[in-house]
């Protein structure tokens, strides 16, 4: 029983609930849609959590959103309302919130450093006429670097040696 956490998918969702990126790490191509569903449905739970806190909560980490089938879904909302959804492979062991929170913090930083590239937003001119706010298309090629960072975080989390750090 490997004690390391296995990340199945990471999803970034914008403040307007548009998907920014849905990155899946499962082998099967077919099941990718499942994680899109998970990202989408998580929005409901995130909304519930945020409303329950009454907007006063300053904590970004939302904890376990729900466990479904073989994944446990965790949520995180940045101060600018970008939601990060993490789908972990469900395992019969204790998952500490601190660890998850750390993963989220790392993902948040990855997003932050990618978004702060000023050229990222202006390169996509063909779509800007439709909606000025929508600058980040899903899976845009400009996000290569961002994807690489996410992949790296996943890899680090997945390797058992580092889990003890959390």
Partner 1 sequence: MALQRKSVIVSYAASPSFLSSPTWDQLKQTLLSQLPLRNIHWKTPSRTSIRTIQELDISLVPLDTIRDELASQVPATLLEKPLLNLYFVTCENTDLELYRTTIKRQIKEWHATVSNRKNQEWIILHVIRPDAKIPSGAFFQLKGSVLDKLKADFNTDKRDRCVQLIWSTNPSMWGEFITKLKDGILSAFDSAVTQREDEVRRSESQRQMPGWNFCTFFILKESLASSFEGVNLCDEALLQYDELEASFYQALKEKNLSWFGVLISPAPKDDSNPLLSLSKKPYRDMILANTITVFDFRIYLLTRQCQLLAQSGRITEVCKKTGAFLGAFGRRLREVEKDLPRFFLQSWIYSSALSVVEQCDSWASNLSEAQLAVFNAGKGELVELARSQLDLIGMHIGFLPQSPPFSSVWVPILSSSEPSTTKISNTQILTALDSEDAFYSLYTHTTTRAIDLYANAGRRKFALKLHGSLAALELHRGHFDAALTTYNSLPAHYAPHMWTSLECSMLQRALETHSALGKPRNREWIHILLSFLAVYAQSSGADMLVKEEIKAAYISRLVDALKSSASELDSGKPGCSLLLSFFQTLVDLPHPDHPAISVQVSPTATLARIKDGSYLEATIHNRLPCALPIEEISVILSGKDADRQRFSVTANSLNPGASKVTLFCPTSNAGTYLLESSEIRMSRLLFNWIYRKPSTNKVPRLTKSSNMLVRIPRDLLAFDVQLRQPPRVEFGQSPTIIVAVSTGRNEVSKAVIRLSAPSVIFDCQDVSLFENDSTEAEFTLEHIILHNLSRSKTVELLVPHSDVSGFNALTISIEVDYVTADESSITRTLKVPRVISTSLPISVNVEDFFRGKQLFSKFTVSTLSHQHVRIASVLLEPPDLDTSGLKVVTSSPRKRNIMSHRYNQHIFCFRSDQTDQARFALAVWYNLSDFIPVRDPLTLDVKYRMLREEVESVIDRAIDEVLADLPEWHMHKTALHAKFIEMLESDASWVEIYTISGELNVPGKIEISEELRDPVEKVKEILRAHQHPESPHGPWHEIRIPVDVPSMTIVAAARIELRTKSPHLYAGQPISAVLSIHTTFHWGPNLNDKERQYTMQYDVEEMVKEWLVSGKKRGNFSAMDDTIFSVPITLVALHHGEFALPRVVVTALPLTDEMTMGSMAIPSTETCQVHGAEKVLILPRGGRSTFVLDMGST
Q: Which residues bind partner 1 (CB under 8 A)?
A: 3, 16-19, 22, 29-34, 36-37, 40-41, 43-45, 48, 52, 64, 66-70, 72, 90-94, 126-127, 129-130, 132, 134, 137-140
In the bound state with partner 1, the residue whose beta carbon lies nearer, of 93 and 159, is 93
Q: Which of residues 97 and 139 has its CB atom nearest to partner 1 in the complex?
A: 139
**Cβ 138 to partner 1 shortest distance, Å:** 5
> CB 132 → partner 1: shortest distance, Å?
6
Q: Given the complex with partner 1, which of 49 and 105 has the nearer CB atom?
A: 49
CB 126, min distance to partner 1, A: 7
Q: Which is nearer to partner 1, 131 or 152 (CB)?
A: 131
d(CA 71, CA 24) in angstroms, rounded, equals: 13
């Amino acid at each position: 029983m490997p004690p390391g956490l296995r990340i199945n998918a990471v999803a970034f969702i914008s403040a307007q609930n548009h998907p920014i990126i849905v990155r899946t790490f499962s082998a099967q191509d077919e099941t990718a849609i499942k994680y899109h569903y998970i990202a989408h449905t998580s929005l409901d739970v995130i909304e519930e959590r945020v409303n329950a806190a009454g907007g006063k909560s300053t904590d970004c980490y939302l904890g376990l959103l729900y466990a479904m089938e073989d994944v446990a879904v965790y949520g995180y909302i940045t101060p600018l309302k970008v939601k990060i959804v993490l789908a972990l492979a469900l395992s019969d062991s204790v998952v500490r919130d601190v660890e998850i929170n750390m993963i989220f913090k790392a993902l948040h930083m990855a997003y932050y450093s990618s978004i702060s590239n000023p050229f990222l937003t202006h390169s996509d001119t063909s779509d800007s006429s439709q909606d000025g706010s929508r600058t980040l298309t899903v899976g845009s090629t400009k996000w290569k670097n961002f994807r690489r960072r996410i992949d790296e975080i996943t890899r680090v989390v997945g390797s058992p040696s580092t889990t003890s750090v959390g």
